[in-house]
Amino acid sequence: MKRLLFLSLSIGLLFGLLQVIVLADGMILPDHPERGWLTVTYHHVSVSVEDGVVITRVDQEFRNDTSHPIEGRYVFPLPHGAVVSDFSMWVDGERLEGKVLGADEARTIYEDYVRRVLDPALLEYVDRDTLAARIFPIPVGGTRRIELSYTEVLQAESGIYRYLYPLDTERFSASPLEDVRIDINLKTSSALQAVYSPTHKIAVSKETGKQASV
């Protein structure tokens, strides 16, 4: 089930709004989906927002609960203009590097997969840059942990900052996803007056007049 998080904050005397919207996120597209999909054991996100500069850190783990080894490709649709600062995938203690594909290469991946598995929902990402890495066979019961981070600069439009994070892991998980956590730390150079979400219950802790955590 797609989860939508909308977060707004007001800064100083002007209403500077930050909208946080979650879409679809890092997923492993198996070469042979008819054999089953991997289970996402957890999905943790840490977000740091400081005067429009955002650093997003993602930590995911996938587990093979099928009766066959699973291999495929890990893809993470990136926000426009985002710069990847770190990517690591741990396989038997070895750190593997990922490759950021351009929009044309990503389009080829998504369109090919849509043809094979008939999932048109993937087409919404064809115009976005994508971080991708080959996933070598994961044995039955085996896991793969993936960590990545990227930086982006939010541009205010009429005093509104819009931050989008892709989070729709459950659609690509063999089992319901239970361990999901998003932590957001906000820091501004102006006084922070209010932080709220009109769609989700959130816990807000104001550490100072210019800093808060969600």
pLDDT over 90 percentage in the chain: 19
Cβ atoms of 195 and 180 within 8 Å: the answer is no
Q: Give every residue of the chain whose pLDDT is below 70, as ranges.
A: 1-25, 118-127, 159-160, 166-176, 178, 192-201, 207
User: Count H helices, E strands: the chain?
Assistant: 1, 16
CA 189-184-155 angle, to 5 degrees, is: 55
Domains within the chain, CATH numbers bracketed: 8-213 (2.60.40)
Structure token pair of residue 94 = 């070895």
Written as six digits, the tokens of 53 are 């500069």
Q: What is the 3-state secondary structure (H, E, C) of 141-204?
A: CCEEEEEEEEEEECCCECCEEEEEEECCHHHHCCCCCCCEEEEEEEECCCCEEEEECCCCCCCC
Rounded Cα distance between 103 and 158, Å, is: 29
| Distance spanning both ends of the chain, measured CA to CA | 22
Give how far Cα 83 sits from Cα of 58, 100, 151, 172, 188, Å.
14, 10, 5, 25, 22
pLDDT reported for residue 162: 75
- The pTM (predicted TM-score) of the whole model is 0.78
Question: What is residue 198's predicted lDDT score, i.e. its pLDDT?
Answer: 59
Q: Looking at residue 10, what is its pLDDT?
A: 37
The Cα-based distances of 101 to 25, 82, 89, 133, 185 in angstroms read: 16, 13, 17, 9, 29
